[in-house]
Structure formats: structure tokens, C-alpha cells
Structure 1
């Protein structure tokens, strides 16, 4: 396993981050235990979760994934030091989580305490804002014109950011969280937080967690350049585009129990003709170079400059083993060239 520094935190994280959002719906406590144990045995030291999880989110299941991790930690208290644990506070919009309210100083304090209880731990290594208070071009809202940036009250948004940073600072001083990060943010949002941290001597964001894959590479080059220049770790989520890049959904296939058989909050927005065509091409490229489609997609992601650790998820041990092994599979220059040709043809298929 290879490791990278998590921004300016001084923490060394594995290039593979174990995602947990299926734990509680598609996976049981026993499944999660097996995944954690196997990942640790392979050198993975980074686990990502969120108060929102599992996904698809629901009021009935809210917080259940953190409780699953907390159950493992309760049974393995001496191994807390072996993992770098990341969680997130939900953004606005879900009525069953703090009445759908925006992230505020008060909600940060409350959410951190609630997550600590569910996780059975005294501290969270990386605490992230799951999505901004303002409408941002994420979760299927990235098409040109889909979001009106001029509608944002930038002064009010910046004031909210400062208030949030002050609350995070309180949690850091209390030892409840070690470092702070962002998720589903933009270059403007990132830079505002960095500027405010410097101006007011508040915790600096050390990471950015955004969707990034062969089907959704919009953060290259602008946001990723920003992250590299500012020493902010970039953490891709959904590097297999919700499992689509495995090829298992081609020709309208829906394997039993797979992600696309569950109702999605934003619909199955990745299911388009362009996606089908792009994935077919990537499957052919993988086959031509003796790789599985998952190995191709994950190795490509790991190879992108600026990537610190890629968040993977699996619903079976077979998938988990293949996904972790993919990061030890170097891509040939010929494979990179073939991938680039397909990416050029299908830069934004959904």
C-alpha cells in the first residue's frame, strides 16, 4: 500500500480510502466487520463515513452507518489508533436531519457530538462539510446553466463560512475533531475558506472530497490545480460512477441488490446513452490491456496528479479485493493513451 500526506495535516493516509455508505442498507454489520478487517490487513488506514449514511438516505436509517463503525470500535477499542476516521455534517435539504436546516455554528457543535456518540470514539480525525449551504453544481447539477451563480449572496455565504469555521475551531480546541475538510465544493468555496482561515487564524481546510471518475472528470484541471497549489488533499468519491464503470449495467442489466436497483434521491442520473457508449468503450480498452473495467477506472484515478486517496466502496468481499488490488496495477503508457482518447470523446456523458 502506498501513502500520501493529507494536505497540511501531517497525517499519512493510504492511497485507498474505505468508503462505508452501503453499510446499513446493502451491507450488514458482519459485512462491514469483514470489510474493515480485510482493508486494514491490506494497509488501508483511512475510513470515510457521514452522519447521512447509509445511502440511499432515509429518516429510518439516518446515522446507522456511523453506528456500525461504532459497534466495531466498541469491540476493538485498542485499534482506534490504527485508523484515520473521517465523517461529515449534512448540508441543508433533508427534513429529518435538523429540520433540513443549513449548516450553522450550532448545528456543527450538535452534529459533532452526535457523531462521536454513534461512532463510539472521543475524536474524529477529519470532519467534513458534506455539501455547501448554497446551491452548488454537484449531485447532477453540473450541466451548463443548471445553477445560477449570480443568485448566491456572496457576503452572506462568506459570513456563514466564518461562523462555521469558528464552530469547527471550538471542536478542534476541545479535542473532538483534529482536522477539517470540504466536500462537493467549488474553487470559489475552497478559496473563501482558505482566506478566512488565514485572516482569522482558524482551522485550515486540509481536504476536498468531490465526485471524480472517467465519467465525471470536471474537477480537472481547475479545482485540482487549486488543491495542488494550496496543499489541499483531493479525495475522489464514486470513482466507479456508482458501480457503472464496472460494466455491470450495460445493456440495461440490473443485477439483484446492486445500487441501481435502489431508489435514488436524485434518480439514476448517470444512466444515459452517452454513459452507455463511454462505458462500452472503456470495457473494450480494459480487455485490450488485460485489465478488468474496475482495475482500469481505479488505476486511472490513482494516476491523476493531485489525487491523495481514492474512496472506494464495495458490497461484497470479491469487489473489495478487486478494488484494493487495482491500486497496485500500473497502467501502461498505451493504456493511458487509449483511455485519453475515450475521455476526449465522452468528457461529460451524464
Structure 2
């Protein structure tokens, strides 16, 4: 296993981060225990979760994943210090989480306490803002004129960001979190948080996790370049495009128990004709070099300059082993060229 520095922090994280959003719906405690123990045995030391998990998010599944991880931590105290636990506070929009309200300083302090209880730990290594209070170009909103920049009150946003940083600083001072980071943010968001931290002597964000895969490269190169020069770790989530890049959803398939089988088809914005066409071409490349489509996608993501650690998720041990093996692969120049040709043909399939 290879490791990389988590931004400007002192933490060395594995190039693979074990995602956990399926734990509590598609996976139970036993499954999670197996996945964690196997991943740690392979050198993975980084686990990512969130207060809103499991997925799909509902009032009934809220907090379940953190509780499952907490159960494992309670039975494996000796491994806690070796394991970097990252979790996230949900942004606005879900009525069962703080009445759908925005992230505030008060919300940060209370949510940290709640996550600590569910995780059964004294500290959180990386505490992240799951998405910003303002509308941002994520979750299918990256297209021009999808929303209006003019609707954002910049002064209000900066004031909220400062309040959030002050609350994060309070939690760090109290030893409840070690570092803070972002998720589903933009270059403006990152730079504003860094500017406010510098101006007010508050904690600097050490990382950002955004969607990034063979089907979604909207952050390359501009946001990722900013991360590199600002010493902010870049953590791709959904490097398999919600399982689409495995090929299991080809020709309209919805395998029983898969994430897409649990979702409203109207909400599956990744399922486009262009996306399926690209996936078929990537599957042909993988077949030609003797690896699986999932391994091709993960090995490519791991090869991208600026990527610190890719967040993977699996619902079975077979999937987990397949995914982990991808990080031992190096794609040759010819394969990279073939991949680049597909990207050029279909640069933004959803």
C-alpha cells in the first residue's frame, strides 16, 4: 500500500480510502466488520463516513453508518490510533437533519458531539463539510446556467464561513477533531476558506472530496491545480461513478440489491446514453489488458496527478478485493492513450 500526505496536515493516508455509505442499508454490521478488517490488513488506514449515511438517505438511515463504525471501534480500541476516521456534517436540504437548515457554528459543535457518540471515539481525525450552504455545481448542476451566481449573497456566505471556521477551531482546541476539510466545494469556496483562515488565524482546510472519475472530470485541471498549490488534499468520491463504471448497469440492468435498484429512476442522473457508451468503450479496454472495468477506472483515477486518496465503496468482499487490487496496477502508455481518446470523444456524459 502506498501513502500520501493529507494536504498540509501531518497525517499520512493510504492511497485508498474505504467508503462506508452502504453500511446500514446494503450492508450490516458483520459485513462492515469484514470490510474494515480486510482493508486494514491490506494497509488501508483511512475510512470515510458521514452523519447522513447510510445511502439512500432517509430519516430511518440517518446516523446508522457512524453507529456501525462506532460498534467496530468499541471492539477494536487497539486499532483506533492507527485508523484515520473522517466524517462529515450534512449541508442544508434534508428536513430530518436540523430541519433542513444550513451549516452554522452551533450546528458544527452539536454535530461533532453527536458524531463522537455514534462513533464511540474521543476524537475525529478529519471533519468535513458535506456540501456548502449555497448552491454549487455538484450533483448534476455543473452545466452552464443551471443556477445563478447572482443569487449568492457573498458577504453572507463569507460571514457563515467565518462562523463555521470559528466553531471548527473550538472543536480542534478541545481535542474533539484534529483537522477539517471540505466536500462538494468549488475553487472559490476553497480559496475563501483559506483566506479567512489566514486572516483570522483559524484552522486551514486540509482536504476536499469531490466527485471525480473517468466519467466526471470537471475539477481537472483548475480546481485540482489550486489544491496542489494550496497544499489541500484532493479526495475523489465515486471513482466508479456510483457503480456505473463496473459495467453492471449496462443495457438497463438493475442487479438486485445494487444501489441503483434502491433509487428512484428519475434521480439517477448518471444514466445517460453517452455515459453507457463511454462505459462500454472502457470495458473493451479493460478486457483487452486482462483486468475488470472497475479496476481500469480505479487505476486510472489513482494515476491522475493531484489525487491524494480515492474513496472506494463495496457491498461484498469480492468487490472490495477486486477494487483494492486495482491500486497495485500501473496502466501503460498505450492504455492511457486509449482512455484519453474516449475522454476526448465523450468528455461530459452526464
Name the CA distance, whole Å, in 2 between partners of 1:77 and 1:127.
Answer: 20
Are 1:250 and 1:276, in contact at CA under 8 Å, matched by a contact in 2? yes
TM-score by length of 2: 0.99
Give the gaps of 5 or more residues in structure 2. none
Provide runs of 4+ in structure 1 moved above 4 Å: none
Per-residue Cα deviation, 1:187-229 (whole angstroms, up to 9, x for no partner)? 0000000000000000000001000001111000110000001
Aligned to 2:158: 158
Aligned to 1:77: 77
Deviates more, 1:283-292 or 1:320-329: 283-292
Other structure's SS at 1:82 match: coil
Query: Aligned pair 1:51/2:51, yes or no?
Result: yes
Other structure's SS at 2:141 match: coil
Aligned to 2:220: 220
Give the gaps of 5 or more residues in structure 1. none
Name the CA distance, whole Å, in 2 between partners of 1:38 and 1:346.
Answer: 36
Deviates more, 1:41-50 or 1:149-158: 149-158
Other structure's SS at 1:300 match: helix
Aligned to 1:309: 309
Other structure's SS at 2:206 match: strand
Name the CA distance, whole Å, in 2 between partners of 1:38 and 1:74.
Answer: 18
Per-residue Cα deviation, 1:67-110 (whole angstroms, up to 9, x for no partner)? 00000011111211110000000000011011111000000000
Matches of residues 202-217 of structure 1 in structure 2 within 5 Å?
202-217=202-217
Are 1:56 and 1:264, in contact at CA under 8 Å, matched by a contact in 2? no
- For this pair of structures, how many residues does the alignment match? 350
Name the CA distance, whole Å, in 2 between partners of 1:347 and 1:185.
Answer: 21
Task: Report the Cα offset of residue 290 of structure 1.
Answer: 1.7
Name the CA distance, whole Å, in 2 between partners of 1:305 and 1:219.
Answer: 12
Task: Report the Cα offset of residue 278 of structure 1.
Answer: 0.6
RMSD between superposed Cα atoms in Å: 0.9
Aligned to 2:118: 118
Aligned to 1:344: 344
Task: Report the Cα offset of residue 266 of structure 1.
Answer: 7.3
Aligned to 2:261: 261
Query: Aligned pair 1:197/2:197, yes or no?
Result: yes
TM-score by length of 1: 0.99
